[in-house]
């Protein structure tokens, strides 16, 4: 209480002194003190992050031209990749916080995935009349990869909403939050890789050097994942009904795509429609090399075509609504 009275007295003395010298007009003694106007500045998030003493002017007007939006979007992507270490750290902390206090930690993912693959493998090998030696490696690889695809799509819907506190408290590039989502799911994939290795060792089916052909597919997955975060993250931040719709679409895509059943089961004209399924082509460019096979040109052409459409749509939307995301989350 004494501290409050002392502070009030100081404000009263300052007010009286400035009023005496003409700094403040003849206002009422009860009028609140008005700070002297000064130039407003903010700490630049990335471009000036290397120099902590630098400041940038606060722009109070907006240039709505398409060229200006494109330049700001390009700058956001560049700044996001400049902070790639921070994105990796945030993704790693997400995994640690998710399993904080757990004994096995993220390896619960490995255990649950292994149990599910074993149970489904025994069941569907009998339903599809397939040898377990041929079917279980296919199923293990398909489920692990599909879980990554599904998790990326689901997390992309909330990529900006989950970072609401950071977005509203400080200016950071939005691309950073997309990097965070991709890092988190790549770590989940790394914890599920031992399940695939155990299945390979149990049935002695190793892909050999052909597995290196999956590297371009994984890189394409990373690019598509970033584009998906920018696209769905912006849409779901504006329309909160979209995530349940996306979840329903992913459930349907799981059953209509060759995940638990092999593409060879489709015969005739039905097989010709498989390259038009984007989930199948994106899955196959990584799965086929890891099974010792080679994805043909039609599959790669379809995957690249769908990826180009996805990246184009994500870029156009992100460049247009980037300035509004902070108000939507």
Q: What is the pTM of this model?
A: 0.77
Q: Average pLDDT, stretch 184-204?
A: 90
Residue 128, CA atoms < 13 Å, CB-side half-sphere:
21
Q: Is 195:117 a contact under the CB 8 Å cutoff?
A: yes
> Residue 266 contacts by C-beta under 8 Å, 6 or more apart in sequence?
274
Question: pLDDT per residue over 46-105, tens digit each?
Answer: 454 445 555 555 555 555 678 888 899 999 999 999 999 999 999 999 888 888 877 777
Q: What is the C-alpha separation between 228 and 11, in angstroms, rounded? A: 54
Task: Return the pLDDT at 265.
Answer: 84
Judge whether residue 21 has pLDDT over 60: no
Question: pLDDT per residue over 268-310, tens digit each?
Answer: 787 888 889 999 999 999 999 999 888 888 899 999 999 999 9
Name the β-bridge partners of 42. Answer: 56
> Residue 300 contacts by C-beta under 8 Å, 6 or more apart in sequence?
281, 285
**Separation in Å, CA 100 to CA 20, 87, 93, 190:** 61, 20, 10, 19
Q: What is the C-alpha separation between 258 and 270, in angstroms, rounded? A: 12
Q: Is 204:251 a contact under the CB 8 Å cutoff?
A: no
Q: Average pLDDT, stretch 124-134?
A: 84
Q: What is the mean pLDDT of the chain?
A: 82
Residue showing tokens 């471009």: 47
Q: Which of 174, 211, 188 is nearest to 289 (CA)?
A: 211
> Residue 56 contacts by C-beta under 8 Å, 6 or more apart in sequence?
41, 42, 43, 44, 47, 48
Domain ranges within the chain, ordered by starting residue: 67-328
């Amino acid at each position: 209480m004494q501290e409050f009275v002392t502070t009030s007295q100081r404000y009263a003395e300052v007010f009286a002194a400035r009023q005496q010298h003409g700094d403040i007009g003849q206002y009422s003694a009860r009028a609140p003190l008005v700070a002297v106007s000064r130039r407003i500045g903010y700490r630049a998030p990335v471009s000036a992050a290397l120099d902590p003493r630098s400041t940038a002017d606060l722009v109070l007007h907006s240039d709505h031209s398409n060229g200006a939006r494109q330049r700001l979007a390009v700058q956001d992507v560049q700044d996001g990749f400049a902070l790639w270490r921070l994105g990796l750290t945030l993704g790693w902390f997400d995994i640690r916080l998710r399993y904080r206090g757990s004994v096995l930690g993220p390896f619960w993912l490995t255990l649950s995935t292994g149990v599910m693959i074993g149970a489904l493998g025994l069941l569907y090998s009998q339903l599809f009349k397939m040898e377990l030696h041929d079917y279980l490696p296919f199923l293990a690889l398909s489920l692990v990869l599909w879980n990554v695809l599904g998790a990326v799509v689901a997390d992309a819907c909330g990529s900006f909403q989950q970072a609401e506190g950071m977005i509203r408290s400080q200016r950071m590039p939005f691309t950073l939050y997309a990097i965070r989502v991709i890092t988190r799911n790549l770590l989940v994939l790394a914890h599920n890789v031992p399940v695939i290795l155990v299945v390979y060792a149990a049935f002695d089916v190793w892909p050999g050097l052909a597995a290196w052909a999956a590297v371009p597919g994984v890189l394409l997955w990373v690019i598509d994942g970033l584009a998906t975060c920018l696209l769905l993250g912006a849409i779901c931040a504006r329309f909160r009904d979209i995530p349940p719709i996306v979840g329903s679409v992913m459930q349907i895509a799981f059953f209509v795509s060759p995940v638990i059943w092999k593409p060879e089961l489709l015969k005739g004209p039905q097989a010709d429609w498989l390259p038009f399924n984007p989930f199948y082509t994106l899955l196959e460019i990584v799965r086929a090399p890891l099974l010792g096979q080679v994805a043909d040109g039609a599959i790669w052409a379809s995957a690249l075509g769908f990826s180009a459409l996805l990246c184009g749509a994500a870029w156009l939307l992100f460049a247009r609504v980037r300035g509004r995301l902070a108000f939507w989350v």
